[in-house]
Structure 1
Amino acid sequence: MSVSSNTVHTVLGPVPAEELGVVAVHEALLSVVPGAEYAFDVTLDRAGIFETLAAKLRDFRAHGGGTVVDSTGMFHGRDVRLYEALSRATGVHLVASTGQGPEELVGGYFLTPQTNPPTPWPAEKFADLFTKEITEGMVVPRVERRGAAGLVAVAATREGMTATDESLFRGAARTALSAGVAVSLRHGDDAVHDLGVVLDEKLPADRVVVGGLDRRDAAESGAPLEVARRGAYVALDHVGTEDEAHLGDAERAALVGDLVSAGFGDRVLLSSGATGVAKGHAGNDLPYSHVLTTFVPRLKAQGLSDEDARRILVANPRALLSVR
């Protein structure tokens, strides 16, 4: 599938990057814990799921949103046909992702030893799996391939990167190099180390976004500034979450100000990590519009310029998601 350098893979096909508008870069549409669809107490009412998601996407658009990135990867409820219908019905561009992780949520097939003595699935096999979802289209299980994935999303084990996580990260980096998309990574216990793994594959830093940098442990370690210094994008993607594990919005806003003041306004991305519909877990029920309705006004009240706000909401995600 040949795509020019200023286009982005959406579920309805390539879209000129300048048409994305305001982008929510780290959200979830339908999020299903692997296996939950088989649980006796979990229902998947397709019509109800569609209506719930459509209402949330229309709200996002009504508040100025243009594009939502579903960064959940494979096997977590991703439903390409549903997303196609939602995009057509709401006018919101939807970018879906390939990728997997962390290890505890990787399917047993991908944990089956491939060698003797046993080793994790090699990075090259993950790269082949992910690359085909971009060059041939995302898999609709046992049916067909449809629209191309727009990025590779991988996550490391919270307590620290495992050998399987490392294979996933290296496979994601190789996919990004060959297919021209970006890598979205959620770090384990050391964001700078985990970024280093994908950079070790010679992937340019500006093709990487590190999520979860508004986790308190990451912020207090200085990771956001160091990630930006290395040239990768800093995603503060729990906007609206107020708990012990994360910065509150007041602290997030201060962190945005610090990054912009340090000259890294071109490396900041914002999102809420909202879950449109969650099955098998609690999810995060914030509206996709939360950043626009609540957090951006806070940033502007503390002095963020309109130009910097537009850079963070529009220009930065456009650059990240453009295929090149």
Structure 2
Amino acid sequence: MSSAAPAEPTTVHTVLGPVPADELGVVAVHEALLSVLPGAQHAHDIDFDRAEIFTTLLTKLRDFRAAGGGTLVDSTGMFHGRDVPMYENLSRASGVHIVASTGLGPENLLGGYFLTPETTPPPPWPAEKFADLFTEEITDGMVVPRVERRGAAGLITTAANLAGTTATEESLFRGAARAARDTGVALSLRYGKDPLADLDVVLDENLPADRVVVGGLDRRDAVAAGAPADIAARGAYIALDHVGTEDEHHVSDAERVTLVTELVAAGFGNRILLSSNATGVAKGHPARDLPFGCVLTTFAPQLRAAALTEDDIARILITNPRELLAVASAR
């Protein structure tokens, strides 16, 4: 009688090194620790007291842990405030696993270097150059400018312009998909105008759908078009990642509860991810000032009131993000 081969062990790249995937606990899968509008760190009228920033973030991370959180994913990417040495110290002091990300986007925040400005009009950077850039941050460690490389990025994150994906952003998406395909690290895709079309771009690079999460699917346009169910049916993860926000662009939490229960009833509970897109500290732009534990403290109780089971909630908050972030352990 033959026995099944044991499952290959998986780990998650955190700023303090690989962590067994089953130790992540509840994951806030799309948040921002320090979010800096590129260039704001050099502005004379913006205070950039690193000790104060650290203290503020540590308090928020400890509150997240007290609420039941285990892991926070900082999905700001490469040049929007990511501070890997600070995140290492925050993780040690708070006991929260921190997954930092590589990636870029949207185009208007790339900077001229990535637009090959020596030509007019500037053509997109080749997808392969984006792929190499992101792959090195996973295999060799994330860049700390002019200092060194540190721990490996645990996610590739990229975004398009809300008015519609540009040629440069398509190149960016393709490069990110190639890096995800070749390293095993998942890709977080924040769509522009058409989530299914943007998903098609990355799947065209032979990236398995279950290594992709499409974010922002609690936007009103996405919900009205039925995009969350359509994308889940294709095998990708769907992120309702503005929990706690209701504005002209996003549905309310009550509508999110209805959407989650409908998706679970349709058999897509294994594809749902929740987060609040909270900003711990923002410089140069307004913060989305929500607790990192917002999903745990305010939204999960609403799901329970809507008769979602504890198993359903655990699947969404623990199992789904764990499966998304996990990569095969090095032997």
TM-score (norm 1): 0.97
Deviations 1:202-260 (A, max 9, x none): 10000000000001011111110111011000100000001111000000010000110
Q: 1:85 aligned to 86, 89, 102, which one?
A: 89
* Aligned match of 1:172: 176
* Aligned match of 1:62: 66
Aligned partners of 2:307 and 2:315: how far apart in 1?
15
- Give 1:7-26 correspondences, 5 Å limit: 7-26=11-30
The amino acid that maps onto 2:282 is: A
* Aligned match of 1:295: 299
Give the match's secondary structure for 1:96. Answer: strand
Q: 1:136 aligned to 140, 159, 170, which one?
A: 140
Is contact 2:29–2:273 with CA below 8 Å preserved after alignment?
Answer: yes
In the alignment, is residue 228 of structure 1 matched against residue 227 of structure 2? no
* Aligned match of 1:49: 53
Is contact 1:209–1:232 with CA below 8 Å preserved after alignment?
Answer: yes
How far is the alpha carbon of 1:195 from its aligned partner? 0.7
Give the match's secondary structure for 2:327. Answer: coil
Is contact 2:115–2:122 with CA below 8 Å preserved after alignment?
Answer: no
In the alignment, is residue 317 of structure 1 matched against residue 297 of structure 2? no
Aligned partners of 2:218 and 2:297: how far apart in 1?
19
* Aligned match of 2:153: 149
Aligned partners of 1:278 and 1:119: how far apart in 2?
31
The amino acid that maps onto 1:58 is: R
Is contact 1:213–1:235 with CA below 8 Å preserved after alignment?
Answer: yes
* Aligned match of 1:98: 102
How far is the alpha carbon of 1:113 from its aligned partner? 4.6
Aligned partners of 1:202 and 1:140: how far apart in 2?
31
Is contact 2:235–2:271 with CA below 8 Å preserved after alignment?
Answer: yes
Give the match's secondary structure for 1:86. Answer: helix
Is contact 1:131–1:175 with CA below 8 Å preserved after alignment?
Answer: yes
Structure 2's unaligned 5+ residue stretches are 1-7
Aligned partners of 1:279 and 1:174: how far apart in 2?
32
The amino acid that maps onto 2:36 is: V
In the alignment, is residue 251 of structure 1 matched against residue 259 of structure 2? no
Is contact 2:33–2:280 with CA below 8 Å preserved after alignment?
Answer: yes
Aligned partners of 1:146 and 1:128: how far apart in 2?
17
Is contact 2:188–2:215 with CA below 8 Å preserved after alignment?
Answer: yes
Give the match's secondary structure for 2:298. Answer: helix
Deviations 1:126-176 (A, max 9, x none): 000000000000000010000100010000111000011001100010000
In the alignment, is residue 161 of structure 1 matched against residue 168 of structure 2? no
Extract structure 1 runs of 4+ deviating beyond 3 A. Answer: 113-118
Is contact 2:124–2:171 with CA below 8 Å preserved after alignment?
Answer: yes
How far is the alpha carbon of 1:112 from its aligned partner? 1.5
Aligned partners of 2:117 and 2:206: how far apart in 1?
27
Aligned partners of 2:239 and 2:109: how far apart in 1?
22
Aligned partners of 1:161 and 1:179: how far apart in 2?
25
The amino acid that maps onto 2:193 is: D
